[in-house]
Amino acid sequence: MARTRLDLQDFLEKQLGSRNVYFQPPPSIQLKYPAIVYELADIRNIPADDSTYSQHTAYQLTVIDEDPDSDISKIVSWFPRCRFNRSFASDNLNHFVYILFY
């Protein structure tokens, strides 16, 4: 059975240890930190016999934490099929961006 975005939501909440996990949050939502914000980043089709054999869905995960040595970022970096993309600071918060195929 294919994994869904809601499965990913549950997985991330368990890893974070809180419900501060947000999928494409609108600007009206007040985020609580530390947090993980994620969004759809890519869908890769795997071809076979002139059709799509399977698909791999990638999500961009952004760990947002006041701590520049975020333990959450370290946990995310160990996820299977996950790669670090970049980091930056904004509004006194550290952002760690990953690409996760789930």
Question: Mapped to the 3 state alphabet, what secondary structure does the chain carry?
Answer: CCCCHHHHHHHHHHHHCCCCEEECCCCCCCCCCCEEEEEEEEEEEEEECCEEEEEEEEEEEEEEECCCCCHHHHHHHCCCCEEEEEEEEECCEEEEEEEEEC
- pLDDT tens, residue order, the chain (102 aa): 568 899 999 999 999 899 999 999 999 999 999 999 999 999 999 889 988 888 889 999 999 999 999 999 999 999 999 999 999 999 999 999 999 998
Please state which architecture CATH assigns to domain 5-101: 2-Layer Sandwich (3.30)
pTM for the full model? Answer: 0.89
